[in-house]
């Protein structure tokens, strides 16, 4: 992880705290709520469950199932998981969200690991 990026570093710190407090084995929705609360406690504003801007041939589309877990507009997309193993489709999902939201940096955080550092992946477009 690039510690020179203060936002990414701060979000990773929040994820470490959530994992320390809650441990692995819960649903993604629980980690979502915990991350929102932890970021709020740290004075960090982000958008939760933000609809991904989707345009097809210049026509905006409404897609309720395409939502970024945590979004810091123009700065960072955070995709949360609670899975046994991060699959290529999870990485592709984050890359797609980065591309569609025109954001360069993304974090994929899987909470279903014994040590949270093993569940972190930073991606840059």
For residue 54, the model assigns a pLDDT of 87
Q: Which tokens sit at 49?
A: 């469950």
Provide the strand spans (E) within 25-94. 47-51, 54-56, 59-61, 67-72, 76-81
For the chain, residues with pLDDT lower than 50 are 1-2
What pTM, to 2 d.p., does this model score?
Answer: 0.92
Task: Give 111-120 pLDDT, tens digit per residue.
Answer: 999 999 999 9
Contact 109, 120 (CB under 8 A): yes
Residue 61 CB: number of other CB atoms within 10 A? 11
Contact 10, 3 (CB under 8 A): no
């Amino acid at each position: 992880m690039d510690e020179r990026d203060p936002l990414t570093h701060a979000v990773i710190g929040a994820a470490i705290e959530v994992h320390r407090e809650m441990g692995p084995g819960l649903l993604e929705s629980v980690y979502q709520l915990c991350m929102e609360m932890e970021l709020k406690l740290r004075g960090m504003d982000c958008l939760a469950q933000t609809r991904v801007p989707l345009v097809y041939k210049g026509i905006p589309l409404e897609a309720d199932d395409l939502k970024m877990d945590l979004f810091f507009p123009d700065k960072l997309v955070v995709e949360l998981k609670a899975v046994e193993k991060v699959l290529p489709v999870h990485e592709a999902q984050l890359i797609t969200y980065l591309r569609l939201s025109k954001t360069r940096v993304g974090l994929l955080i899987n909470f279903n690991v014994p040590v949270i550092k093993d569940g972190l992946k930073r991606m840059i477009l």
